[in-house]
Amino acid sequence: MAGSEAAWQAAEAGVPVTIHEMRPRVGTFAHRTGSLAEMVCSNSFRSDDDEQNAVGLLHWEMRAAGGLIMEMAHKHRLPAGGALAVDRDPFAEAVTARLRSHPLIEVVDEEVTALPDSGHWIVATGPLTGSALAQAIADEAGQDSLAFFDAIAPIVHYDSIDMDIAWMQSRYDKGETEEERTAYINCPMTRDQYEAFIDALLAAEKTEFKPGETAGYFDGCLPIEVMAERGRETLRFGPMKPVGLTNPHDPTNKAYAVVQLRRDNKLGTLYNIVGFQTKMKYSAQTSVFKMIPGLQEASFARLGGIHRNTFINSPTLLDDQMRLKSKPHIRFAGQITGVEGYVESAAMGLLAGRLAAAEMQGRTLEPVPETTAMGALVTHITGGADAKTFQPMNVNFGLFPPVDARGGRKGRQVRYKMYTDRAKADWQAWLGVRQAAE
Ligand X SMILES: Cc1cc2nc3c(=O)[nH]c(=O)nc-3n(C[C@H](O)[C@H](O)[C@H](O)COP(=O)(O)OP(=O)(O)OC[C@H]3O[C@@H](n4cnc5c(N)ncnc54)[C@H](O)[C@@H]3O)c2cc1C
Binding status of residue 3 toward ligand X by CB under 6 A: yes
Q: What does the per-residue mask of binding to ligand X show for 82-121, with x meaning CB under 6 A?
A: -----------------------------xx---------
Q: How far is the CB of 220 from ligand X (least distance, A)?
A: 16
Residue nearest to ligand X (CB): 126
> In terms of CB distance, is 186 or 335 closer to ligand X?
335
> In terms of CB distance, is 124 or 356 closer to ligand X?
124
Q: Tell which positions 129-188 bind ligand X, by CB under 6 A.
A: 129-130, 133
d(CA 95, CA 162): 46
Q: How far is the CB of 378 from ligand X (least distance, A)?
A: 14
> Which helix (H) or strand (E) covers residue 123, if one does?
strand 121-123
Looking at 60, 158, 300, 342, which residue binds ligand X (CB under 6 A)? 342
> In terms of CB distance, is 133 or 284 closer to ligand X?
133
Q: How far is the CB of 342 from ligand X (least distance, A)?
A: 4
> In terms of CB distance, is 294 or 349 closer to ligand X?
349
d(CA 420, CA 360): 32
d(CA 190, CA 240): 12
Long-range contacts of 202-205 (CB under 8 A, 24+ apart): 202/228, 202/229, 204/280, 204/281, 204/284, 204/285, 204/288, 205/280, 205/281, 205/283, 205/284
Looking at 10, 122, 128, 153, which residue binds ligand X (CB under 6 A)? 128
Binding status of residue 127 toward ligand X by CB under 6 A: yes
d(CA 33, CA 22): 11
Half-sphere exposure of 333 (CA within 13 A, CB side): 30
Q: What does the per-residue mask of binding to ligand X show for 280-319, with x meaning CB under 6 A?
A: ----------------------------x-----------
d(CA 329, CA 254): 55
Looking at 13, 57, 115, 124, which residue binds ligand X (CB under 6 A)? 124
Contact 80, 42 (CB under 8 A): no
Looking at 18, 42, 283, 413, which residue binds ligand X (CB under 6 A)? 42
Binding status of residue 334 toward ligand X by CB under 6 A: yes
> In terms of CB distance, is 294 or 334 closer to ligand X?
334
Biggest alpha carbon distance in the chain? 74
Angle between helix 2-12 and helix 68-75 axes, rounded to 10 deg: 110
E strands within 21-113? 44-47, 77-78, 83-86, 105-108
φ/ψ of 18, rounded to 5, equals -115, 125
Looking at 335, 372, 379, 382, which residue binds ligand X (CB under 6 A)? 335
Contact 18, 108 (CB under 8 A): yes
Binding status of residue 345 toward ligand X by CB under 6 A: yes
d(CA 383, CA 320): 8
Binding status of residue 47 toward ligand X by CB under 6 A: no
Q: Tell which positions 358-417 bind ligand X, by CB under 6 A.
A: none
Looking at 30, 168, 226, 403, which residue binds ligand X (CB under 6 A)? 30
Q: How many CB atoms lie within 10 A of CB 16?
A: 12
Looking at 56, 126, 239, 398, which residue binds ligand X (CB under 6 A)? 126
Among the listed ranges 186-194, 316-324, 328-336, 430-438, the one in contact with ligand X (CB under 6 A) is 328-336
Q: How far is the CB of 113 from ligand X (least distance, A)?
A: 6
Binding status of residue 20 toward ligand X by CB under 6 A: yes
Distances, alpha carbon 227 to alpha carbons 75, 98, 256, 290, 308, in Å: 47, 49, 18, 19, 20
> In terms of CB distance, is 124 or 227 closer to ligand X?
124
d(CA 18, CA 105): 6
> In terms of CB distance, is 292 or 333 closer to ligand X?
333
Number of chain residues interacting with ligand X (CB under 6 A): 30
d(CA 259, CA 92): 44
> In terms of CB distance, is 255 or 399 closer to ligand X?
399
Task: Give 330: exposed, middle or buried? Use CB within 10 Å, 0-12, 13-18, 19+.
Answer: buried
Looking at 125, 265, 285, 396, which residue binds ligand X (CB under 6 A)? 125
> Which helix (H) or strand (E) covers residue 224, if one does?
helix 224-229
Interface positions with ligand X (CB under 6 A): 1-3, 20-23, 28, 30-31, 40-42, 111-112, 124-130, 133, 308, 334-336, 341-342, 345
